[in-house]
Structure 1
Amino acid sequence: MKISVKGCGYLGAVHAAAMATLGHEVVGVDPDARKIELLQSGETPFFEPGLDEILRAGLASGRLSFSTETERAAGAQVHFIAVGTPQSADSGSADLSYVRAAIADLLPLLGPDQLVVGKSTVPVGTAAELARLVSETGARLAWNPEFLREGFAVQDTIAPDRLVYGVDRESGDADAAVLDAVYAEALAAGTPRIVTDYATAELVKVAANSFLATKISFINAMSEIAETVGADVVTLADAIGHDERIGRKFLGAGLGFGGGCLPKDIRAFVARAEELGTGESVAFLKQMDEINLRRRQRVVDLVVGSFDGSDLGDGATPLAGRSVAMLGLSFKPNSDDVRDSPALDVAARLHALGAVVSAYDPETNRNAAARVPDLRYCDSVEDAVRGAEIVVLGTEWLEFRELDPAGLRTQVERAVIVDGRNALDPDAWRGAGWTYHGMGR
């Protein structure tokens, strides 16, 4: 099929390349000329495992191309909308300006037998509004939410764990058949397929993210209690995770969640629920957000508490001149995304308290420096920890989980580590002479 993808950021670039991998003829459209230049030359503007390979393969096959000109999407049977819906600057609501602009750009090109498919995460009610505009051209609208995990986005697009189609009641069967053709390979492999209305499809994404955020925040709440009573939250999570009704996934206490999806999606969900007069139904999500943010301050407090402060002069900041090594800056491993990153936020807070923060991340230094330029960015673990008075693990990259505590001990000034992700073996680090601080341990 001939497919267009409007928006070539993280979601759109992955979707375009994956659709070409599945055999479709795909054009990705985005107004950012630099981004399009990179993609058309076979380079990705962000780090995502496996994307480089399918991007270059798609370009080499001739099935994949990118352009700044929306007119290049003319004649496509399916037009995917994959633009961002960031949090509004003045509220928790989702900013829909990019979605509306994408639809407006496409309207002159649309006609009968064409299907516009939204993939962006939007507040419930958006699809119905946009469907009225699209229908005036004779085209139709469907909503097909994405469920990508950064670090696994290519796999999640080509072989998703489910497909959800939100369709119009009158044209639903025909629209579902078109999407079946798009995803024929995944369906043949047995991927579950759910066909529903617009509102349910819109809610599926935000409900899923809200549930995951709640589960993470719950174990972080237990972490706070564990720290007070002397319990071990990791063992606690192991124990309750054996209950099949609960499960162990997403019960990792630590710095909490971040990134470009969960934080802004739950805030937008709360804002939309309040607009609909049902804010009490999701009021608990505000508490989840608060718990999540408190864990960042807990790491800062652990760092400050590791120094006695006796050598600070009057009026000095709590960490004045202290050397802190920050390992990891992305919001999760296998990603270079620093949007609402807990690790980068902690590094910035430590710097604000007077610390000299030497930071290293395998993929994220450049993105982090654009947001927090005042840190000392390093090219290796060794450079970051050299002479450090305390080490903070902010992102659980494999490189950090496999560190040799005995070897690292010889490079620091004080062997103190704050494991913000509970990713290290406390016994091994303590046995190598380190003072180890975990989260809820």
Structure 2
Amino acid sequence: MLISVIGCGYLGAVHATCLAHLGHTVVGIDSDRELAARLDAGRPSFYEPGLESLLTETLATGRLRFTGDPAAVAGSSVHFLCVGTPQLPDRPGADLSALDAAVGALLPYLRDGDLVVGKSTVPVGTAERLADRFAAAGSGAAVAWNPEFLREGHAVADTLRPDRLVYGSGTGDERAVAILNEVYAPVIAAGTPVISADLATAELVKVAANSFLATKISFINAMAEMCEAAGADVTVLADAIGRDVRIGRQFLNAGVGFGGGCLPKDIRAFGARAAELGVDRVAGLLDQVDRINLGRRDRIVDLTAEVCAGDLVGARIAVLGASFKPDSDDVRDSPALAVALDLQRRGAHVRVTDPQAADNARKRSADLTVVDSVTEAADGADAVLLLTEWREYRELRPADLAGLVRHRRIVDGRNVLDPGRWRASGWSYRAPGRL
């Protein structure tokens, strides 16, 4: 098929590459011409395992190209909208200006029978609004919604081998379903289930999924507070309740909380939309999830002060991790950077390191000292904080740092280290939800 992908940031770049890998002829279009040129040269602007090699491979087939020219959509019959929908600068709702601009640029080139497929995360009701816009313009194009469920660090696999495909389409629009089945034919043939729904349900699926995950994470972090107050161990508690098949163990890891470019802004936008629709209990629930999550950053700062005998002024703190999660260079709303900046505001001398996100951390927080190795970060440190659970940090041995630090103190902000091992080596070990 001839397909256009509009918006070539994280989602669009991965989606375009994977569609070309599946055998389609794909053009990726982005208003940032420099970004498009980089992708067309095989150089993604972000780190995602496996993407660069797949991009190089698919570009070589001639089935994939990227451009900044909106006219390049002409000739394609399926158009995926993959633009960003960040949080509004002054309130919790989603900023749809990029989406509306992309639709405006697309309209002149639409033909009767074209299918415009939204993948961006949007407030419920957006797809219907766009369908009305296309109809008013006499474009003859139909609208479908096909939400994405990518995990940073696993985006290629999640696109090529997803655990489900969700299609939202207008009532009786069987043609949209048939076209999407053709787009994803190899994926469906491999056994991926397809869930067909109306437009509103498809829009809600993504934000509901993210909100459930966020709620689960905030729940176990609330239990961490209870465990600290009661003298219990949240990791054992999580193992025990996670054995219940109704609950499951995934995402029951107490720590510094979630961040990134999706979960925080999605739950806020979902809450804002719920409030607009008068569903106040949903809005209140999501507000509490957000508050609990943000409070975990304060708790890590407090733990650090405790291990430093209550005085952060002048303390030298090594922060291991800058990205919001491992296998990513994304520092948007990163808990690790938020903690580092708060420690610095309280008078600590902070050095941050990360195997992939160091450059982005420097750009995002110019006032922070960002170094290139654990050795540099830990040299002379009064405390070491593990805040992003990269494999190389999880596998650190107490002896690896003992000769570098001034004081053997570690705060395990992700609950991934063995406390017995570190304490046996003479370290003061603290972690949220464990005494």
TM-score bracket, normalised by the shorter chain, equals: over 0.9
Alignment of 1:72-151 (within 5 A): 72-135=72-135, 136-151=138-153
| DSSP-derived class of the 1:300 partner | helix
Alignment of 1:9-408 (within 5 A): 9-135=9-135, 136-170=138-172, 172-308=173-309, 318-408=311-401
AA partner of residue 24 (structure 1): H
| DSSP-derived class of the 2:404 partner | coil
Deviations 1:90-136 (A, max 9, x none): 11000010111111100000011210000000000000000112232
Tell me the number of residue pairs that the alignment of Structure 1 and Structure 2 aligns: 432
Over the residues paired in the alignment, what is the CA RMSD in angstroms? 0.9
AA partner of residue 303 (structure 1): T
Distance (whole Å) between structure 2 residues aligned to residue 156 and residue 431 of structure 1: 41
| DSSP-derived class of the 1:324 partner | strand
| DSSP-derived class of the 2:8 partner | coil
Deviations 1:341-376 (A, max 9, x none): 101100010111111111100000111111111222
| DSSP-derived class of the 2:200 partner | helix
| TM-score between the two structures when normalised by the length of structure 1 | 0.97
Identity rate of aligned residues, in percent? 59
Distance (whole Å) between structure 1 residues aligned to residue 243 and residue 151 of structure 2: 24
| DSSP-derived class of the 1:326 partner | strand
Distance (whole Å) between structure 2 residues aligned to residue 361 and residue 226 of structure 1: 30
Tell me, which stretches of 5 or more residues in structure 1 are unaligned? 310-317
Distance (whole Å) between structure 2 residues aligned to residue 251 and residue 320 of structure 1: 34
AA partner of residue 415 (structure 1): R
Match of 1:313? Answer: none
| DSSP-derived class of the 1:150 partner | coil
Distance (whole Å) between structure 2 residues aligned to residue 120 and residue 61 of structure 1: 27
Deviations 1:302-352 (A, max 9, x none): 11122235xxxxxxxx52221100000110000111111101100010111
Deviations 1:13-56 (A, max 9, x none): 00000101101101100011221121111111000001001110
| DSSP-derived class of the 1:283 partner | helix
Deviations 1:252-306 (A, max 9, x none): 0000111001110000011001111112234111111111111100110011122
Contact 2:307 2:428 in 1 (8 A): no
Deviations 1:210-237 (A, max 9, x none): 1000000000000001011110000000
AA partner of residue 243 (structure 1): D
Distance (whole Å) between structure 2 residues aligned to residue 279 and residue 199 of structure 1: 19
Contact 2:43 2:52 in 1 (8 A): yes
AA partner of residue 270 (structure 1): G
| DSSP-derived class of the 2:95 partner | coil
Deviations 1:368-404 (A, max 9, x none): 1111112221111111101111000010000101112
Contact 1:20 1:58 in 2 (8 A): yes
Candidates 407, 411, 420, aligned match of 1:427? 420
Kindly indicate whether residue 411 of structure 2 is the aligned counterpart of residue 418 of structure 1. Answer: yes
Contact 1:21 1:58 in 2 (8 A): yes
Deviations 1:155-210 (A, max 9, x none): 0011111001000113x211100000000011101111011100000000010011
| More moved, 252-261 vs 406-415 | 406-415
Give how far 1:407 is off: 2.5
Distance (whole Å) between structure 1 residues aligned to residue 233 and residue 307 of structure 2: 20
| TM-score between the two structures when normalised by the length of structure 2 | 0.98
Contact 2:308 2:383 in 1 (8 A): no
Contact 1:356 1:375 in 2 (8 A): no
Contact 2:378 2:404 in 1 (8 A): yes
